[in-house]
Amino acid sequence: MAAHLQDQTKLSNGVGMPWLGLGVWQAKDGEEVVNSVKWALQSGYRSIDTAAVYDNEEGVGQGIKESGVSREEIFLTSKVWNSDQGYESTLQAFETSLKKLDTDYLDLYLIHWAVKDKYKETWRALETLYKEGKVRAIGVCNFQTHHLDDLMADCEIKPMVNQVELHPKLSQKELREYCRENNIQIEAWSPLGQGKLLQLPLLNEMADKYGKTAAQVILRWDLQNGIVTIPKSVHQDRIVQNADVFDFSLTDEEMAAIEGLNEDDRIGPDPDHFDF
Residues with catalytic roles: 54
The single-letter DSSP state of residue 73 is G
| CB-nearer residue toward ligand A2P: 11 or 243 | 243
Question: In what helix (H) or strand (E) does residue 161 lie, and over which residues does it extend?
Answer: strand 161-165
| CB-nearer residue toward ligand A2P: 136 or 238 | 238
Q: What are phi and psi of 232, to 5 degrees?
A: -100, 135
User: Whole-number minimum distance, CB 109 to ligand A2P, in Å?
Assistant: 21
99, 146, 209, 235: which one binds ligand A2P (CB under 6 A)? 235
24, 106, 126, 192: which one binds ligand A2P (CB under 6 A)? 192
User: Whole-number minimum distance, CB 236 to ligand A2P, in Å?
Assistant: 9
188, 167 contact by CB (below 8 A): yes
Within 13 Å of residue 113, how many CA atoms lie on the same side as its CB? 17
Binding string to ligand A2P for residues 172 to 191, with x set by CB under 6 A, is what? Answer: ------------------xx
User: Whole-number minimum distance, CB 13 to ligand A2P, in Å?
Assistant: 27
Q: Is 268 in the site for ligand A2P (CB under 6 A)?
A: no
Q: Which residue is nearest to ligand A2P (CB)?
A: 195
Window 21-50: residues binding ligand A2P (CB under 6 A): 23
Pairwise CA distance, residues 145 & 273, whole Å: 15
161, 202 contact by CB (below 8 A): no
175, 206 contact by CB (below 8 A): no
Pairwise CA distance, residues 173 & 163, whole Å: 14
Q: Is 231 in the site for ligand A2P (CB under 6 A)?
A: yes
Within 13 Å of residue 163, how many CA atoms lie on the same side as its CB? 28
| CB-nearer residue toward ligand A2P: 86 or 271 | 271
How many beta carbons lie within 10 A of that of residue 94, not counting itself? 22
Q: Is 233 in the site for ligand A2P (CB under 6 A)?
A: yes
The helix/strand/coil state of 213 is coil
Binding string to ligand A2P for residues 131 to 170, with x set by CB under 6 A, is what? Answer: ----------------------------------------
The helix/strand/coil state of 121 is helix
| CB-nearer residue toward ligand A2P: 237 or 275 | 237
Q: Applying CB under 6 A, what is the total number of residues that bind ligand A2P?
A: 18
Sequence-separated (6 or more) residues with CB below 8 Å from residue 150: 120
Q: Is 234 in the site for ligand A2P (CB under 6 A)?
A: yes
Q: Is 194 in the site for ligand A2P (CB under 6 A)?
A: yes
Q: What are phi and psi of 268, to 5 degrees?
A: -90, -175
Q: Which residues bind ligand A2P (CB under 6 A)?
A: 23, 190-195, 198, 213, 215, 231-235, 238, 241-242
